[in-house]
Amino acid sequence: MPTQTQLKAKGVFVVTPTDIRIKIDDDFGRYYRWLFRSDQLNQLTLRPPKHGSHSLVISEKIHQKDCSDYLYLNGREVYFNYEIEGNYGGLAKGFLNFWLNIQCKEAEDILREFSIKKQKGFSLLHTTIGNTKNSCKNNN
């Protein structure tokens, strides 16, 4: 159940042998990028994430894990709670990321099965709303 600083949303598991993601409707990210622009008085524009609105659960590239045993989840709807307060970071890499932390029991169970734990100072799961890589004014 969401807290007073969270809302509930729905996504769909997208599973390949190399990763597990929660695909989120692109309108979700578009809305939060619009809010960000409004808050920043249109001084900074965020580009959508490369893979659209999503939350990466497991990635072979990052976690060195094979996700083949989870292909049965592909296409399954999943609900998650997300924090309504956004987070910013990444300036040391030369660009800004904006994300919302999420909580999803099903995804957290998968992370536990892979023995992946939360690192201090980081949320276990998040959805990137956008970034300023190659940013231009007309991106939504």
Total residues found in the chain within this entry: 140
Predicted TM-score (pTM) of the model is 0.84
* pLDDT value, residue 42: 67
**Which of 131, 130, 125 lies closest to 101, judged by CA?**
125
Q: Could you read off the pLDDT of 64-108 as tens digits, one per residue?
A: 889 999 999 999 999 999 999 888 887 777 888 899 999 999 999
Contact predicate 102/133, CB 8 Å: no
Domain ranges of the chain: 6-131
pLDDT level of residue 38 (50, 70, 90 thresholds): confident
DSSP string, the chain: ---TTEEEEEEEEEE-SSEEEEEE-HHHHHHHHHHHHHHTTTS--PBPPTT-SEEEEEEHHHH----GGGGGGTT-EEEEEEESS-EEE-GGGTS-EEEEEEE-HHHHHHHHHTT--PPTTS-SEEEEEEE-TT--TT--
Greater confidence, 123 or 28?
28
* pLDDT value, residue 133: 80
Contact predicate 109/27, CB 8 Å: no
